[in-house]
Amino acid sequence: MLNIEIDEENGIAILSPDSKLSDEDFKSATNIIDPYIERSGKLSGLIISTESFPGWESFSGLLSHLSFVKDHHKKIKHVAFVTNSPIGSLAGKVASHFVSAKIRTFKFSELELAKAWIISSNDAQEST
């Protein structure tokens, strides 16, 4: 299951998988995140928070994940991987070639630091 939380005050979506990712997880994420983007015009950041990457339930889950990234990468300014998994660092390096968002990896214990990075980066962009 993918837990989805929107910090509306700061425009941050936090995705926390607690089991293998499924097609339904990404449909749920889209149904929660897209209405927020429509109301606010953007999403300042997306945080993927998981101590270790759970993988996908099926090939369909992987395809839904890729489709979610393709449909949302231009609407999100910052992506933070908050994880102790080496996959987080690798995913960040690979994703930076395909998405327009700034990407950074944090340790699993650094969720608040990841939020602060997104907020401060957003504040800096708005003041220029």
Render pLDDT for 56-72 as a digit per residue (tens, 0 to 9): 777 676 667 667 766 66
**Does residue 119 form part of some domain?**
no
**Does residue 125 form part of some domain?**
no
**Does residue 82 form part of some domain?**
yes
Better-scored residue on pLDDT, 84 or 63: 84
Max CA separation in the chain (angstroms): 44
CA 63 vs. chain centroid, Å, equals 16
Better-scored residue on pLDDT, 103 or 61: 103
**Does residue 64 form part of some domain?**
yes
Q: State the average pLDDT for the chain.
A: 80
* Phi, psi torsion values for 58, nearest 5 degrees: -160, 175
Q: What is the pLDDT of residue 62?
A: 64
**Does residue 122 form part of some domain?**
no
Instruction: Tell me the pTM.
Output: 0.81
**Does residue 71 form part of some domain?**
yes
**Side-chain-facing half-sphere of 91: CA atoms under 13 Å:** 20
Domain count, the chain: 1
Better-scored residue on pLDDT, 14 or 61: 14
Residue 8: give the domain boundaries: 2-113
**Does residue 15 form part of some domain?**
yes
- Which residues are within 8 A (CB) of 106 and not within 5 positions of it... i.e. 6 or more apart? 80, 81, 82, 83, 113, 114, 117
**Does residue 33 form part of some domain?**
yes
What single-letter DSSP state applies at residue 109?
A: G
